[in-house]
Amino acid sequence: MTDLHDLLTKSLKGFDEQRDRSQQVEIGPSSLGGCRRRVYHDLKLTEKTNLNTESLAAILGTFIHSGIEESIRREDPFGDNFFTEIEVSSGSMKGHIDLFIKDQGIVVDWKTTKVKSLRYFPSEQQRWQVQVYGWLLAQNGYDVKEVSLVAIPRDGEMLDIRVHREPYDEQIANTALVWLDSIREGIAEDKPAPVPEERVAFCSKYCSYYDPTGEIGCPSTAK
């Protein structure tokens, strides 16, 4: 008899692992402004010590993004104005932009979340991310005027969707890039790893480098 739980989880994991974003080794915009210690381990190619970090919410978020992309394309079937899933790079920074609206110069990043998390939206990390997306597009010849974050609560209603818009600001993007450069420089100068920034309850579930011993990965902060 088919084990439906096993069938579903293996299928979802397999789908997620084959995506470009899952295979991306370089640090992308979504990591900027997050945990310095985690980015440090990413750059150092540290051996992963916590292999049970699959997030169902993240995988479902991927499906939501795919559905939105398909829906947006129906509004602009020839892709003349709504550019979806653009891959752009500049130097070592690469990003996948959810949507760029050409005639308004707006970069849009969809964020799946929960209703209770809307009170933290948008975070500085999210603002850094979308501004760096704008910077990447600008570096590749796009005329960027605004950036937007759209929070879509998985457990909410249409009225709960939250939209944040702000002018494109190259200075904010540069701040995020300097943040990353500081971690790279620390590694190049063989400085100690950044101090842990997240607690055990979070790291044990979501961080591939969580290591209670601290010998290879990160022991996290106090419980």
| Rounded CA separation 169/122 (Å) | 16
User: With 70 as the cut, is the pLDDT of residue 168 above it?
Assistant: yes
Q: Show the tokens assigned to 39.
A: 């980015």
- Mean pLDDT confidence for 115-120: 95
pLDDT band with cut points at 50, 70 and 90 for residue 32:
very high
pLDDT band with cut points at 50, 70 and 90 for residue 21:
very low
Does residue 146 lie in a domain region? yes
Mean pLDDT of the chain: 89
Q: Show the tokens assigned to 151.
A: 């929070």
Does residue 9 lie in a domain region? no
Does residue 17 lie in a domain region? no
What range defines the domain where residue 201 resides?
A: 31-206
Secondary structure of 58-112 as H, E, C letters: HHHHHHHHHHHHHHHHHHCCCCCCEEEEEEEEECCEEEEEEEEECCCCEEEEEEE
Domain total in the chain: 1
Does residue 16 lie in a domain region? no
Does residue 150 lie in a domain region? yes
Give 184's DSSP letter. H
Out of 14-23, 42-51, 100-109, 192-201, the most confident range is: 100-109
Give me the CATH number covering residue 186.
Answer: 3.90.320.10
Does residue 214 lie in a domain region? no
Does residue 215 lie in a domain region? no
